[in-house]
Chain A
Amino acid sequence: MKWVLWTLLTVSVSGVLLFYVWGKVDVVRLGYELDALLKKKAAFTQEHDRLQARLSQLTAPERLASEAGDKLGMRPPGAKQVVLVPSRPESGTSSDGPEPPLRLARQTGD
């Protein structure tokens, strides 16, 4: 009887110890994983920041103006090239269907 009790006690204590050690080992393993993920996140953030800076450089007004002028031959419209489109009545009061989008200017040629 005593022998059985001692065996049960030993097994129980060993089990508890093993569970405790397993838990600790798992915490450490997850710590490593977390560290690796944080490094990945930092790398992605770094890449995002770099791309955002590049986008910002590419969409700078100076560059857009130069690209539009040099490559596409665009330039600001002259006074006679701007045509104002009269407004339609507010939507809901007209029976001619949906209101067309408001245009402020259009190219009329030189």
Chain B
Amino acid sequence: MNRSFMKKECKLTGEGSGRRVFVGLCFLVGFAILLFRFFDLQVLQAETMMQKARQQHEKIITLNSNRGAIVDRQGKPLALNLDVPSVYATPSSIDSPTRVARQLAGVLGVPRKPLEKRLRNKRDFVWIQRKIEDSQVGRLNDLALPGVGVMVETRRFYPKGTLLAHVLGFAGMDSQGLEGLENGYDEHLRGQVRRVVLQRDALGRVIIPESQRKSQPLSGHAISLTIDEVIQYIAEQALEQTVRNTKARGGAVLVMAPKTGQMLAWALRPTFDPNHIHQASPERWRNRGVTDPYEPGSTLKVVLAAAALESKSITPDTLLYAGDGEIPISGTVIHDHEKAGWVTFREAIQRSSNVAFVKMSWELGREQVYQYLRTFGFGEKTGIDLPGESIGILRRPDQWSQRTLPSLAIGQEIAVTPLQLLTAVSAVANEGWLMRPFLVREISDHRGKSVWEHVPHIRRRPISAGTAKTVTDLLVNVVERGTGKRAAIPGYRVAGKTGTAQKVDPATGTYSSTKFVGSFVGFVPAEDPQLAILVMIDEPQGPAWGGVVAAPVFRKVAEQALRYLSVAPGEEARMVASRSRPALDGYQPNWE
């Protein structure tokens, strides 16, 4: 029995050994294949596999930060951001472009064929329509079209429409500043764009890892302007009305706080709505207050009078012979609008006598005239915080002809920007100190913490306080008895000067007899100036005298703005009101 058992075992052992070897080999081959596959996946195809895994589990999103707001001096918003929906499509996911295009056209109210063409595009992503209405989004969601989605985009929004459009400028489709302050302060206004990698699950839901929770985009800084929305509205209304009534080509009203250089209003016509920039030509976007110099005419006499008085070459009572109202100059004749005979310098400026000012300029001499014009800031930028500022045109004395000096005396052969002229006249209102005008008073971060504050800057002092006071008295006389009577405001002493300048006809290169610029520049109250205002009306139809078309605009703006600022009429009453007046000063100026 033992022998037979042993035989059987031996037989079994022999058979079992073969099988074991076979099974073992099978496992070995299997493991070898697996090992090779692991090696293939983990080493040879490592990059491809990691990329696939990343595509499935990771989602890279761009966090666009909000552009900082722009507010006026009272904190009222002038430029904001709005989230608006836009429709996009992924053409590869759309089975029937014709059907989808028909349904989309019905909701969006656009032609079907261009939509269908776009849906047949081979690209992965196409825009269908950007910035659509909320009601359209609801209808699109109801349709639940495959391959069609809605994405939220941020759009710059100007809630006051055309108000202050030239100063604000506008931002483009990708929130980049293109014009005005939006462009000049783009670096501060735009925030930081961040790309964040998020993990997502099989259903596409986002799992935010701990380390990335803090990766929020940094919003842009908010900027606070010196402009007052109410004064701006007053200026725009008065200008609009006059431009419309006189059928003028355009116009400007700039308002400044003369003691600090803060701009309170900046109205230009024609204008545009920054929410719909393509409805107006780029010509209208230009900020003519700083980009377009013009010949100032008699308003420049303020500066020349200051120069003559400062240099002691004349006094208010000096007699000048204005003759019969004309004076020949190198083949041409400079006229007055009335015969004057002998006049004091005070009367000469009151009547805006060209002949008297030509004679005064000869007394002063070309070097002094040039130096004073430069000291008052002509021929250089004012330094305002706006892009595209022009320096105007003021030639050096060695480039002057025989006619230049008398022409300058009446505001010709020189081109100034409205801002340059207003800044120069503001120096007279500010006891001779020439300030640098500015528009942005403060920049604050997204938490509202101030990061930068604008301190007024003194550029220089062209004239003494005594001369400034004498010029002010002369200018008050212009408004009370002279050409600027229509700028007078009951209860206030207004100082100002009218100007009526002939425009150069581009066709002939000579002065036109039909195209004029009527202007008025002045400040109020004369004894404690709170507002300096320049009004310029370009090519008004009918009477073009500055005293007729521009002075009433000055009165209208100044009267309402003074009331708004609680600047009461009369010196004594003004002291009463000063307690409730919104502060326009409150700064210690810096020297440049």
* A residues apposed to B, CB below 8 Å: 27-28, 31-32, 34-35, 38, 46, 49-50, 52-53, 56-57, 59-62, 65, 76, 79, 82, 84-87, 102, 104-105
Query: Does the CB pair B82–A49 fall under 8 Å?
Result: yes
**B229 & A35 in contact (Cβ 8 Å cutoff):** no
Once bound together, how far apart are the Cα atoms of A38 and B573, in whole Å?
57
The DSSP consensus for interface residues of chain A is: helix
- Which positions in B face A, CB cutoff 8 Å? 76-77, 80-83, 152, 157, 159-161, 163, 199, 201, 205-209, 213, 229-230, 232-233, 237, 490-491, 560, 563, 566, 568-569, 573, 575-577, 579-580
Assembly CA distance A102 to B566 (angstroms): 11
Contacts between the two chains (Cβ within 8 Å), count: 81
Q: Tell me the smallest distance from the CB of A92 to a CB of chain B, in Å.
A: 15
List, in ascending order, chain B residues with CB within 8 A of A76's CB: 560, 563
Residues on A with beta carbons closer than 8 Å to the beta carbon of B579: 87, 102
The 8 Å CB contact of A49, one of B81, B230, B237, B576, is: B81
Cα distance A32–B230 in the bound complex, in angstroms: 48
Enumerate chain A residues within 8 angstroms of B233, measured Cβ to Cβ: 61-62, 65
Q: Distance (Å) between the CB of B72 and the closest chain A CB?
A: 10
CB within 8 A of A104: which of B205, B230, B566? B566
27 contacts between A and B (CB under 8 A): A27-B207, A28-B201, A32-B205, A32-B207, A35-B207, A46-B83, A50-B82, A53-B82, A53-B157, A53-B159, A56-B76, A56-B77, A56-B159, A60-B160, A61-B230, A61-B232, A62-B163, A65-B233, A65-B237, A79-B490, A79-B491, A82-B563, A84-B576, A87-B575, A87-B579, A102-B577, A102-B579
B568 CB contact (under 8 Å) in A32, A35, A49, A104: A104
| Given A52-B77, A79-B490: A87 in contact with B83 (beta carbons within 8 A) | no
- Chain A contacts of B163 at CB under 8 A? 60-62
- When chains A and B are docked, how far (Å) is the Cα of A32 from the Cα of B198? 12
Known contacts A46-B83, A62-B233; can you find 10 more A-B pairs with CB under 8 A?
A: A35-B208, A49-B83, A52-B77, A53-B159, A56-B160, A60-B159, A79-B491, A82-B563, A84-B573, A104-B566
Q: How far is the CB of B95 from chain A (nearest CB, A)?
A: 30
Please, which residues of chain B bring their CB within 8 A of the CB of A87? 575-576, 579
